[in-house]
Amino acid sequence: MSPTALCAYAITTDHAPDLSGTPAVSFEVEPRLIAYLGVALVVAEVDVDRFAGLGIEPAEDGRLARLAREHDAVVRAVFRCAPVLPLRFGTVITDSDAALLLLRAHHEEARVWLDRVQGRREWGVRGRGSRIDDTTVPGEVDLANVSGTQYLALRRQQLTGVEDARRGRIAAIRTLHGELSRRAAESTSRDHPGDLLLDAAYLVDTTAEADFHAEVRRLSDELGPRGVSVEVTGPWPPYSFTQIEFAVAGVVANG
């Protein structure tokens, strides 16, 4: 038997439902709440070595995938009925004394953050561009019938066309991010390599979701002809909007 510890999944309010009483939820772990002055930590007892030696394959049926999905499922079970601050995957604390130490130190801060995400859900939006092909901009020409000078002029025109298309895309993507941010309580976007033109997340009031998605559809239709496809993921618990660090000082007796 390896020693046990508490895996912590999220912070929520102390009136979140008792998870053990949720019939639709079944996990390998048994999540429960440890409450303190209005907030609660969602925890489950786990073997300490549960997270050790995770395999290096991202396989759908791998151990990492299973554990990550379980983490998400526990967070979502709470998220369905109460505001949550998801904790990062693999937050393993020593015991319930440690949980109380954490809550005692940060309950006020946690409550402020919980108010901030209450009644809101996260949506991910990505814009992906197809390659702008300089031989198809601005159009097909029979090169056999053009002079050297004409060819160079044509080539310049093609390159300008590529540059225009690229600028048009960037402007359209900025409009998309701007319009969606206006409809969201908060937004965040990240640097994006390669063909990704936008990788953003929006924290949206549930009452504003219809408007938000109508705008996504409207602007996606405009981006389509520019060779940009828009993908939406969600709803997510507010993973991207809880970039908080809870530092806990004090030594916990490790029994």
Footprint of another protein (CB under 8 A): 5, 8, 11, 48, 51-58, 60, 64-65, 68-69, 71-73, 76, 85-94, 98-99, 101-102, 113, 124, 192-194, 196, 199, 233-236, 239-240, 242-252
Nearer to another protein, 78 or 102 (CB): 102
Nearer to another protein, 16 or 158 (CB): 16
Residue 88's Cβ-count burial label (10 Å; 0-12, 13-18, 19+) is: exposed
- Look-up of token digits 């901009």: 137
- Minimum distance between the CB of residue 138 and another protein, rounded to whole angstroms? 30
- Minimum distance between the CB of residue 59 and another protein, rounded to whole angstroms? 8
How far is Cα 61 from Cα 57, in angstroms, rounded to an integer? Answer: 10
- Minimum distance between the CB of residue 128 and another protein, rounded to whole angstroms? 9
Nearer to another protein, 69 or 217 (CB): 69
- Minimum distance between the CB of residue 47 and another protein, rounded to whole angstroms? 11
Nearer to another protein, 65 or 208 (CB): 65
Nearer to another protein, 111 or 134 (CB): 111
Q: Which two tokens stand for residue 255?
A: 């029994």
- Minimum distance between the CB of residue 236 and another protein, rounded to whole angstroms? 6
How far is Cα 24 from Cα 219, in angstroms, rounded to an integer? Answer: 37
How far is Cα 82 from Cα 12, in angstroms, rounded to an integer? Answer: 7
Size of the chain, expressed as the number of residues it contains = 255
Whether 216 and 187 have beta carbons less than 8 Å apart is answered as no
Provide CB contacts within 8 A for 159, sequence distance 6+.
134
